[in-house]
């Protein structure tokens, strides 16, 4: 039915409000795509709650001491195994159940408190950090969030005590980045009391050493021929559970055991369905949001280790009659490390703050954190090895291991390329919905597309104002104004790309990448600015540290300010056609791998 003029005006008004007046219900990341800086969502910079501050401080000190004294990262890498007594030591410190509620034997820490522990582990040994992350963030978390009371009482206490280890099994030969393409099936028996699982999983961290696995399998949708993914709690003592390969040899994080598994007519009680039937992907994606936040924390730890080592080496190694630290190209690397390390910690803290605040949806923010922090760490470990020169290349120093270890971060828990598309898609969707609201108000959307375009162009450029980025520190006002300008330009660029490419933008990954990278920088800058403001207006009492950190934070803002401009400029000035032509030429000259 055609809309009346009044209905049409109302629909356009609603769309305008969404586009221009700052809807409070959007998350911080989505707000950026509308040109908003939703300050109350990230300011003031989150702090660990007073009541747990001492406990977290003590736990951080204990875990650090334990790592320094007992965790030999070189041996773990060489032997491709985390010794059982190291796992026992971590259990004793409560590391395997840090955020599990106290009633199940956990320490009940906030996510922010937990990131401080993960930072220490990530700075000491990536294998241990990934082992803990797989057990805790994506193992225990699934139970805490989606388990029934009975499931929690049964499984959480032994997991928290380390009597049982956890794993999370989603990936399969045909379901990697395309996680929805799970082929493992779970067919209910006629009495509905049991599901029979068949299929295989690969690349599963802790897969062969875990006693509790969350396994994703396809179940029939009652009354239809469709199937949907459901999460199951599986134990390896079940008949039909096969460990095909316990520990696949690999590039880095060699201490973790990454397994291939198979299920042959394996019966799993219906009571072991985790979360609602058919909602397994929601379980997986929600749990990954936690995992991605802890990724940020372990990257921060590794980055701090690199920064300290690179600075010390640069100050002592002499070439051309001067220390390496005198050379500008070494300074440039150290400055990048300092800036990104500060920003990584800031962005991780804000993400953990979202989780602790009970926010409903932070998938965009955790994806932004994961992509840019893992990319930044990759450059940091590479630059550290470069500063150490030949010495860094040998295995008696930790840097070649750190390079190998850091590589997984760009692939695991969502490959960065795939997440860039995800970021652009999730960020642009509400904007598209708002514009489509206007479009559907026009009587013939296709014929009237020009009208819509005109609406968009005029309205957007005339009405989108530079958002206010409120800071208390006088000396940060200029930086805050620049950030506001970049947010406005970003939002204009996003909307202009949507008008230019329309539905085809879903296929335009060159465009998506630039939008996602600019979004990463805007988000990381916003979090960094919050921390800088906190630092400069509520000094921690150590002036040297404040001066150093403030310098690093300011430099990060300068770097990202320039990079955002470059990414937005490249939306219209680029070599995309030549890129596609060169790739296609290469694709035509070789056959597929046999």
Instruction: Indicate which residues carry an active-site annotation.
Output: 413
* Count of residues near ligand FAD by CB under 6 A: 20
Q: Extract the tokens encoding 488.
A: 């406005």
Least distance between ligand FAD and beta carbon 327 (Å): 34
Least distance between ligand FAD and beta carbon 39 (Å): 33
221, 278 contact by CB (below 8 A)? yes
Pick 42 or 128: Cβ nearer ligand FAD: 128
Please tell me whether residue 528 binds ligand FAD under the rule CB under 6 A. Answer: no
Closest CA to 345 of 552, 538, 513: 552
How far is residue 580's CA from residue 594's CA, in Å, rounded to a whole number? 24
Please tell me whether residue 236 binds ligand FAD under the rule CB under 6 A. Answer: no
Pick 392 or 412: Cβ nearer ligand FAD: 412
Give the CB-side neighbour count of residue 390, counting CA atoms within 13 A. 0
How far is residue 572's CA from residue 580's CA, in Å, rounded to a whole number? 16
Pick 203 or 336: Cβ nearer ligand FAD: 203
Least distance between ligand FAD and beta carbon 419 (Å): 9
Residue 322 φ then ψ, to 5°: -145, 160
Pick 258 or 349: Cβ nearer ligand FAD: 258
The residue within the footprint of ligand FAD, chosen from 421, 525, 526, 560 (CB under 6 A), is: 421
Least distance between ligand FAD and beta carbon 177 (Å): 3
Pick 138 or 464: Cβ nearer ligand FAD: 138
Please tell me whether residue 234 binds ligand FAD under the rule CB under 6 A. Answer: no
Q: Extract the tokens encoding 33.
A: 């795509």
The residue within the footprint of ligand FAD, chosen from 46, 291, 412, 467 (CB under 6 A), is: 412
How far is residue 113's CA from residue 115's CA, in Å, rounded to a whole number? 6
The residue within the footprint of ligand FAD, chosen from 184, 205, 409, 495 (CB under 6 A), is: 205
How far is residue 285's CA from residue 283's CA, in Å, rounded to a whole number? 6
The residue within the footprint of ligand FAD, chosen from 203, 290, 336, 523 (CB under 6 A), is: 203
Quickly tell me which residue has 């995309």 as its tokens.
576
Q: CA distances (Å), 582 to each of 90, 586, 590, in order?
A: 51, 6, 13
Least distance between ligand FAD and beta carbon 508 (Å): 12
Please tell me whether residue 436 binds ligand FAD under the rule CB under 6 A. Answer: no
Pick 286 or 561: Cβ nearer ligand FAD: 286
Please tell me whether residue 176 binds ligand FAD under the rule CB under 6 A. Answer: yes
Please tell me whether residue 247 binds ligand FAD under the rule CB under 6 A. Answer: no
Q: What's the CA dihedral at 345, 347, 351, 357 to 10 degrees?
A: 90
Please tell me whether residue 183 binds ligand FAD under the rule CB under 6 A. Answer: no
Residue 44 φ then ψ, to 5°: -75, 160
Residue nearest to ligand FAD (CB): 176
Q: Extract the tokens encoding 45.
A: 């910079």
Please tell me whether residue 335 binds ligand FAD under the rule CB under 6 A. Answer: no
The two beta strands, 258-269 and 273-274, are: unpaired
Contacting ligand FAD within 371-410 (CB under 6 A): 408
Window of 351-359, 387-395, 414-422, 498-506 that interacts with ligand FAD by CB under 6 A: 414-422
Contacts of range 431-437, beta carbons closer than 8 Å, 24 or more positions apart: 431/19, 431/33, 431/34, 431/494, 431/495, 431/498, 432/498, 433/18, 434/15, 434/18, 434/19, 435/15, 435/19, 435/495, 435/498, 437/11, 437/12, 437/14, 437/15, 437/18
Pick 12 or 411: Cβ nearer ligand FAD: 411
The residue within the footprint of ligand FAD, chosen from 91, 311, 411, 492 (CB under 6 A), is: 411
Please tell me whether residue 168 binds ligand FAD under the rule CB under 6 A. Answer: yes
Respond yes or no on whether the N-terminal peptide bond of residue 44 is cis (omega within 30° of 0): yes
Per-residue contact flags (x/-) with ligand FAD for residues 294 to 323, judged by CB under 6 A? ------------------------------
Please tell me whether residue 219 binds ligand FAD under the rule CB under 6 A. Answer: no
3-state secondary structure 182-243: CCCEEEECCCCCEEEEEEEEEEEECCCCCCEEEEEEEEECCCCCCEEEEEEEECCCCCCEEE
Chain-centre distance of CA 278, in angstroms? Answer: 25
Q: DSSP H helical segments within 110-188, as ranges? A: 111-124, 126-132, 141-146, 149-160
The residue within the footprint of ligand FAD, chosen from 258, 305, 349, 439 (CB under 6 A), is: 258
> Exposed, middle or buried: residue 52 (CB in 10 Å: 0-12, 13-18, 19+)?
middle
The residue within the footprint of ligand FAD, chosen from 271, 415, 436, 582 (CB under 6 A), is: 415
Window of 90-98, 200-208, 264-272, 364-372 that interacts with ligand FAD by CB under 6 A: 200-208
Contacting ligand FAD within 106-165 (CB under 6 A): 134
Least distance between ligand FAD and beta carbon 71 (Å): 19
Least distance between ligand FAD and beta carbon 250 (Å): 6
> Exposed, middle or buried: residue 193 (CB in 10 Å: 0-12, 13-18, 19+)?
exposed
Q: What is the binding site for ligand FAD (CB under 6 A)?
A: 134, 168-171, 176-177, 203-205, 250, 253, 258, 408, 411-412, 415, 417-418, 421
């Amino acid at each position: 039915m055609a809309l009346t003029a009044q209905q049409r005006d109302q629909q356009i008004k609603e769309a305008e409000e969404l586009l221009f007046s700052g809807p409070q219900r959007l998350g911080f990341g989505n707000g950026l795509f509308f040109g908003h800086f939703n300050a109350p969502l990230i300011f003031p910079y989150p702090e660990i709650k007073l009541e747990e501050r001492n406990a977290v401080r003590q736990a951080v000190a204990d875990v650090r001491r334990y790592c320094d004294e007992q965790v030999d990262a070189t041996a773990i890498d060489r032997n491709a195994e985390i010794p059982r007594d190291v796992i026992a030591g971590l259990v004793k410190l409560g590391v395997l159940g840090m955020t599990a509620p106290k009633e199940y034997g956990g320490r009940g820490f906030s996510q922010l408190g937990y990131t401080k522990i993960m930072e220490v582990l990530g700075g000491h040994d990536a294998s241990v950090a990934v082992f803990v992350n797989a057990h805790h963030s994506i193992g225990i978390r699934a139970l805490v969030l989606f388990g029934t009371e009975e499931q929690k009482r049964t499984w959480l206490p032994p997991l928290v005590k380390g009597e049982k280890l956890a794993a999370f099994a989603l990936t399969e030969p045909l379901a990697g980045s395309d996680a929805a393409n799970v082929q493992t099936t779970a067919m209910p028996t006629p009495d509905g009391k049991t599901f029979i699982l068949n299929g295989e999983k690969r690349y599963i961290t802790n897969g062969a050493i875990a006693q509790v696995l969350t396994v994703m399998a396809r179940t029939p949708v009652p009354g239809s021929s469709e199937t949907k993914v459901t999460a199951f709690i599986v134990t390896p003592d079940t008949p039909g559970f096969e460990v095909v390969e316990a520990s696949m040899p690999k590039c880095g994080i060699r201490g973790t055991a990454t397994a291939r598994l198979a299920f042959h007519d394996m019966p799993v009680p219906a009571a072991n369905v985790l979360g609602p039937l058919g909602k397994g992907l929601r379980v997986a994606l929600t749990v990954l949001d936690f995992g991605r936040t802890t990724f940020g924390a372990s990257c921060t730890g590794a980055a701090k280790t690199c920064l300290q080592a690179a600075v010390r080496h640069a100050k002592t190694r002499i070439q051309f009659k001067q220390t390496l630290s005198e050379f500008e190209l070494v300074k440039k690397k150290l400055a990048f490390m300092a800036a990104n390390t500060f920003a990584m910690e800031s962005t991780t803290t804000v993400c953990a703050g979202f989780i602790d605040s009970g926010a409903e949806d932070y998938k965009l923010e955790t994806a932004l954190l994961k992509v840019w922090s893992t990319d930044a760490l990759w450059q940091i470990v590479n630059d550290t090895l470069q500063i150490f020169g030949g010495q860094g290349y040998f295995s008696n120093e930790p840097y070649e291991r750190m390079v190998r270890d850091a590589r997984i971060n760009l692939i695991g828990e969502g490959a960065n390329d795939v997440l860039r598309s995800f970021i652009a898609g999730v960020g642009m969707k509400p904007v598209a919905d708002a514009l489509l609201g206007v479009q559907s108000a026009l009587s013939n959307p296709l014929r009237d597309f020009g009208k819509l375009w005109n609406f968009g162009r005029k309205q957007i450029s005339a009405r989108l104002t530079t958002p206010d980025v409120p800071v208390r520190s006088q000396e940060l006002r200029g930086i805050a104004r620049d950030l506001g300008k970049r947010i406005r330009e970003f939002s204009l660029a996003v909307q202009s790309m949507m008008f230019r490419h329309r539905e085809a933008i879903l296929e335009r990954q060159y465009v998506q990448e630039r939008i996602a990278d600019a979004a990463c920088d805007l988000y990381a800058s916003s979090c960094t600015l919050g921390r800088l403001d906190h630092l400069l207006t509520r000094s921690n009492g150590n002036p040297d540290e404040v001066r150093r950190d403030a310098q690093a934070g300011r430099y990060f803002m300068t770097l990202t300010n320039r990079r955002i401009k470059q990414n937005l400029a490249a939306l219209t000035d680029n070599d995309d056609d030549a890129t596609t032509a060169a790739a296609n030429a290469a694709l035509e000259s070789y056959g597929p791998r046999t």
